[in-house]
A and B are shown apart, each in its own frame.
Chain A
Amino acid sequence: MYDFNKYFEAETLDEAKKILKENPNAQIVAGGSDILVEIREKHIEGLELMGIHKIKELKEISIDSEGTISIGCMATFHMLENNEIITKHIPMLGRAGGVVGGPQLRKVATIGGNIANGAVSADTATSVWAYNSQLVLESADGNRTIDVKDFYLGPGWTDVKQNEILTKILIKKEDYEGFSGEYIKFSQRKALDIANLGCAVICKLDGNKFSDVRIALGVAGPVPIRCKTAEDYAKGLEVTEENINEIGKKAVLDGKPRDSWRASKAYRQQLIEICSQRALTKAAQLAGGK
């Protein structure tokens, strides 16, 4: 049995906001694949859970007339993998969803949970960041929309307040149109694993030159990061093996990996370089680069 005191089932979004406001010990459980594992590991005094499974609108993936894609927080990885809007416009996010854990987990685990709990290894966080997503946070006290770049505050710590729900993730047309991307999850196994390094790269070409390159890394620092140095350096460069190799080297300057028993700093730096290069090579190929 899981160790918590009370369970609320929110039937509507308004009800969910109300429950959170009135019950300061209540935490949202989405797919459960993170929080239930956490509860099993450690006792959290006074914990109460609120389920949001029954709120249909939170599962929606849609695109509006301006081309902004909206992904509901309760969209599972399995949905990301198979949704037509995602596979057509932002396929890299779908592929990232397709390498999280194992297939059974992908049927229940959600993008909202993946982003909101702030795990540095979250496979979708890098794509969400590479596409410069906006995150919509709603509460009984009002709603706000923040840029993903302002979202991560520290290891496992994000800018979601106790009374807020990360309801959706928005990606604007200008952030995906014309881009091609590749996500590399480097891990010890091909399934059921967490990344030693997650590397999401998208690029846009102008002729055979990079007009925009975005490199987002997971497990390369305390929170998911973007490689500003490498991205700035890349702009305007010809698509060549030498240039891509140099961009990968620059990405290492942006990374802040540390030594852990899972992998050393030096090795993670090697992975940053190699995975950035390989992902960018693939992304450039998809964009028609030579």
Chain B
Amino acid sequence: MNFTQIGKPLKRYDAAAKVTGKAKYAGDFHVRDMLIGKIYRSTIAHGYVKKIDISKAKALPGVVAVITFNDTPDIKYPTAGHPYSTDPKHQDIADRQILTNHVRFYGDEIAAVVAENDLIAREALRLIEVEYEELPVVLTVEDALANDAPEIHKGTKNIVGKMNYEFGNVEEGFAKADFVVENEFETQTVQHCAMENHVSYAYVDAQDRLTVVSSTQIPHVVRRIIGQAFEMPVHKIRVIKPYIGGGFGAKQDSCIEPLNAALTLAAGGKPVLLDLDREESIIGTRVRHAVKYKIKTGVTKDGKMIAREVSLETAKGAYASHGISPVAKQGTAFIQMYTTPNVKFDMISVYSNAPVAGAMRGYGIPQINYALESHVDDVAAKIGMDPTDFRKLNQVKEGDADPKTKLKILSCGLEECIDKGKELINWDEKRKKYANQTGDIRRGVGMAEFCYGSGTYPVCLEIAGARIVLRPDGSILMQVGATEIGQGSDTVFSQMAAEVLGISTDQVYLESTTDSDTTPFDTGAYASRQTYVSGAAVKKAALECKSRIFEAVKKRKEIAVEKLDIKDSQIIEKNSGKVVMSLADLAMDTYYSRENSNPISVDVYNQTKSNALAFGVTFTEVEVDIKTGTIDVIEIYNVHDSGTIMNRQLAEGQVHGGMSMGMGYALTEELKLHPETGKTLNNNLLDYKLPTMMDTPDLGVEFVETYEPTGPFGNKSLGEPPAITPAPAIRNAVLNATGVSFTRLPMNTQRVFEKFKETGLI
């Protein structure tokens, strides 16, 4: 494909605003007399509030309001950033109240205060007196399913959901296999740690409408959720998203907005800022599911996997949030990656008295991919095959269909990704060199591969809106419902519109703010859907705008629309290239013509009914310090097939960030709870170990560009995938270095030490 704008390394349109400090985030607005909201959080993990006394807090000078669960509506609502389902059976679980007297995790929200400043608000919190009736703390799947387990949500038996299915017959497959390999794996709880915490402010505007300005990935969905929480029609609610400081899934959930709305209502509609601190953001928003796996593969002597089975369980925390979706989705990745005739998937998700697991970059796939790709290396080792050859023999390719959805793979560059990765890391030579090492410092190379969908079809609705207005000077104003959260979607949308319309990107004006009142509907930034799904809406809008332009030209110049094109903002005759008129002249005339005044404005929606798998690999080299258990990543490369790359520089940036997150997942990040009280032990950035610049080596990125026919420009997902494979690749490199098969994340030095002790290396 020859593109004029797509693929160009266009600079972010918002870069200058961000590099000068001018970009305004939700916490940056100076509204007159802004009040401060603070949350009273439980100091137990499970139980009921027997008694609460807020009289002293209320009496404190400077306190405007104190509210408890007695003051908020007795309504249960869902929080997940999913499109609403008109089918009641497919709706998100409604198990949340704005404030609660049933404490379900350490830090649950019981009461809240509004005060003139943060010091007074904090003092007011100290003056609230609470007596609890404590219940046993449930932290594991086993605890949750015990016969005498207390119910975290009444009537659920602590089960959020289960799912299982089988294609073929795995028992028969295992019986026919030459070898059967079984492993157990375990992943940890991690947190998104977007640099901007969850923050919003809310007020009642002059038209008596509840307005919430929030750092959210899903402004339109948040409006609906606030409506559900108050049983209030959506026309009474307005949600605005300004610049946002990262989300990664924790802001694909309505964590704070309903409470913020309740606080402004309690304060007579005055503006109230609800700015979570880091400690609250870590425990009180969302985390990634920690999952345990039992995984089993039957393989023939010549390396064909003929039966695979995985069973997984997760204790997902105090509220349903996204329900079973981030766990159920793991089955798709498990089945899709390798074409095995007999596959079986089984999962259970239970409530526990822990911070709430929800969406996080990769939506469950980093977990299953760690288990699967670690296991696959162990299987390859069992039959003595090179892990890349083994994968090539078993993995999906173009033309294969998902056994469950029947969707066919129409583009697949996975094999080329592997070849490229091998070359970058110098695979063959190093695998040999590192085969049999001794000594305290050892090196190894490892890899892992993934596949990942683009959007949520066919499980969920995929709908996106775009609006284009041709302005009098021939430039366009574009509004998209999709949410720019730092990933660069707005910049890429401007390239798409410019591509279709034959104009340059500086003629496309986009506003980063999303306003539920004025921007078209879109479900938001998640599922790596925006270039694929929202991009299709942008393309459709641009095409419609173009045809409206040609109609307008036809009216004026009597040239058939099919003979027209636009190049460099000039309307030309397609064959001769002769300029008919400038787009600016036409635009001006559409506004001010005495005969034909009809300015061009298009407003379209596009429902996507396809999905495309993106593919990719991580290759890495590690150095292991046997005596201290330290793993250093020396070299790391991600190679991706995301179809057409829309903007190489932004795409590389997405990959870098995912790789860094994946390395943290592999080595240092873990949210730890006290095993008895359920209190989070490390909810701060000192004890929760995000990688620093010194921990991060140079990050190598390559793309294998395929053309995906269902993507608006041949493109597929890229946002989440880069975070998936670093952890298993590092794990497999450690296997290559030491011969030790790790089964648990993170591989922090303590755990590596223990494993080396256990296996006799120390």
A interface residues (Cβ-Cβ under 8 A, vs B): 1, 3, 43, 102, 186, 188-194, 196, 261-264, 266-267, 270-271, 274-275
In-complex Cβ contact of B692 among A190, A267, A270 (8 A): A190
B118-A1 in contact (CB<8A) = yes
Q: Which residue of B674, B689, B754 contacts A267 across the interface (Cβ within 8 Å)?
A: B754
In the complex, what residues of A have CB within 8 A of residue B686's CB? 192-194
Whether the pair B695, A190 counts as a contact (CB closer than 8 A) is yes
Measured as residues with beta carbon below 8 angstroms from the partner, the interface class of chain B is: 20 to 34
A-B contact pairs, 5 of them (CB 8 A): A1-B119, A191-B694, A192-B686, A193-B689, A271-B628
**Which B residue sits closest to A271, measured CB to CB?**
B628
Assess the B748–A261 pair: CB atoms within 8 A: no
A219 to chain B, nearest CB (A): 13
User: Is A189 touching B681 in the complex (CB atoms < 8 A)?
Assistant: no
**A188 to B692, Cβ gap below 8 A?**
no
* Interface check B117, CB cutoff 8 A: yes
Residue B762 is within 8 A (CB to CB) of chain A in the complex? yes
A192 touches B692 (CB 8 A): yes
- Looking at chain B's contact residues, the main secondary structure is loop
The residues of A that contact B123 with a CB separation of less than 8 Å are 3, 43
Q: What's the Cα separation between A193 and B628 when bound, in Å?
A: 17
CB interface residues, B 704-762, toward A, < 8 Å: 748-750, 753-754, 757, 762
Give the number of residue pairs across the A-B interface with Cβ within 8 Å. Answer: 57
The answer to whether A188 and B119 have CB atoms under 8 Å apart is no
Separation of A1 and B682 alpha carbons in the complex (Å): 23
Contact B627 A270 (CB under 8 A): yes
The interface centre, meaning the residue of A186, A188, A261 with most chain B CB atoms within 10 A of its CB, is A188
Given contacts A189-B689, A267-B753, A267-B754, contact A3 B681 (CB under 8 A): no
Query: How far apart are the CA atoms of A21 and B167 in the complex, in Å?
Result: 80
Chain B residues with CB under 8 Å of A186's CB are 628
| Complex interface residues of chain B between 685 and 707 (CB less than 8 A to chain A) | 685-687, 689, 691-695
Question: In the bound complex, do residue A189 and residue B668 qualify as a contact, i.e. CB atoms below 8 Å apart?
Answer: yes
Q: Is A270 touching B762 in the complex (CB atoms < 8 A)?
A: yes
What CA separation (Å) do A191 and B119 show in the bound complex? 32
Write the nearest CB–CB distance from A72 to chain B, whole angstroms. Answer: 27
- B695 and A263 within 8 A (CB): no
Cβ contacts B606-645/A at 8 Å (1 or 0 each) = 0000000000000000000001110000000000000000
CB contact between B627 and one of A3, A264, A274 (< 8 Å): that residue:
A274
Residues of B within 8 A of A266 (CB): 757
Among candidates A102, A189, A274, residue contacting B695 with C-beta atoms closer than 8 Å: A189
The distance from the CB of B753 to the nearest CB of chain A, in whole angstroms, is: 5
Q: Is the CB of A189 within 8 A of B628?
A: no
Determine the main DSSP class of A at the interface with B: loop
In whole angstroms, how far apart are the Cα atoms of A186 and B748 in the complex?
Answer: 13
B431: interface (CB < 8 Å)? no
Among the interface residues B126, B685, B749, B754, which one has the most CB atoms of the partner chain A within 10 A?
B749
Contact for A190 among B126, B682, B694, B748, CB less than 8 A: B694
A264's partner among B119, B681, B691, B750 (CB-CB below 8 A) is: B750
Chain A residue contacts of B753, Cβ below 8 A: 267, 270
CA distance in complex: A191, B668 (Å): 13
Least Cβ distance of B9 to chain A in Å? Answer: 30
B277 to chain A, nearest CB (A): 9
Taking A189-B668, A193-B689, A261-B672 as given, write out 16 further A-B residue pairs in contact, using a Cβ cutoff of 8 Å, ordered by the A residue number. Answer: A1-B117, A1-B119, A43-B123, A43-B126, A102-B692, A188-B689, A189-B692, A189-B694, A190-B692, A191-B692, A191-B694, A192-B692, A261-B674, A264-B750, A274-B627, A275-B628
- Contact, CB under 8 Å: A267 / B126: no
B37 to chain A, nearest CB (A): 16
**CB within 8 Å for A188 and B748 given contacts A261-B672, A274-B627:** yes
Q: Is B397 part of the contact surface with A, judged by Cβ < 8 Å?
A: no
Which of B672, B750, B753, B754 has the most CB atoms of chain A within a 10 A radius of its CB? B750
Whether, in the assembled complex, B122 has its beta carbon less than 8 Å from a beta carbon of chain A, the answer is yes
Contact partner of B668 among A43, A188, A274, CB < 8 A?
A188
| The residue from B119, B629, B689, B750 contacting A3, defined by CB atoms under 8 A apart | B119
Q: How far, in whole Å, are A261 and B119 apart by their CA atoms in the complex?
A: 32
Residues of chain B within 8 A of A3, CB atoms compared:
119, 122-123
B694 CB to nearest A CB, Å: 4
Residues of B near A264 (CB, < 8 A) are 750, 754
Chain B residues numbered 118-147 whose CB sits less than 8 Å from any CB in chain A: 118-119, 122-123, 126
Chain B residues, Cβ within 8 Å of A263: 750
Assess whether A274 is in contact with B628, with CB atoms less than 8 Å apart: yes
- A261 and B681 within 8 A (CB): yes
A188–B629 CA distance with the chains assembled, in angstroms = 11
| Chain A residue nearest in CB terms to B757 | A266
A191 touches B118 (CB 8 A): no
B750 contacts which of A192, A194, A267, A275 (Cβ < 8 Å)? A267
Q: Measured between C-beta atoms, what is the minimum distance from A201 to chain B in Å? A: 16
Nearest B-chain residue to A275, judged by Cβ: B628
Whole-angstrom CA separation of A266 from B749 in the bound complex: 12
Q: Which partner residue on chain A sits nearest B691 by CB separation?
A: A189
Q: Please indicate which of the listed interface residues B119, B627, B748 has the most CB atoms of chain A within 10 Å of its own CB.
A: B627
CA distance A163 to B691 in the complex (A): 41
Among B653-692, those with CB < 8 Å from A are: 668, 672, 674, 681-682, 685-687, 689, 691-692
Which residues of B lie under 8 Å from residue A275 when comparing CB positions?
628
Are A191 and B695 neighbours in the complex by a CB distance under 8 Å? Answer: yes
Residue of chain B at shortest CB distance from A268: B750
Given the complex of chains A and B, what is the CA–CA distance between A1 and B62 in angstroms? 15
Return the chain A residue nearest B120 by Cβ: A1
Q: Cα distance A275–B628 when bound, in Å?
A: 9
Could you tell me the distance between the alpha carbons of A67 and B627 in the complex, rounded to whole angstroms?
40
Using Cβ atoms and an 8 Å threshold, which residues of chain A touch B691?
A: 189
* Least CB distance, A80 to chain B, in whole angstroms: 19
Q: How far does the alpha carbon of A287 sit from the alpha carbon of B424 in the complex, in Å?
A: 42
Q: Write the chain B residue with the least CB distance to A2.
A: B119
Instruction: Please name the residue on chain B nearest to A101 by beta carbon.
Output: B686
**Chain A positions within 8 Å of B750 at CB level:** 263-264, 267
* Chain B hits for A274, CB < 8 A: 627-628
| A172–chain B nearest beta-carbon distance, Å | 34
Which A residues are in CB contact (< 8 Å) with B629?
267
**Assembly CA distance A192 to B123 (angstroms):** 31
A161-B691 Cα distance, complex, nearest whole Å: 39
User: What's the minimum C-beta distance from B69 to chain A, rounded to whole angstroms?
Assistant: 25
CA distance A81 to B118 in the complex (A): 37
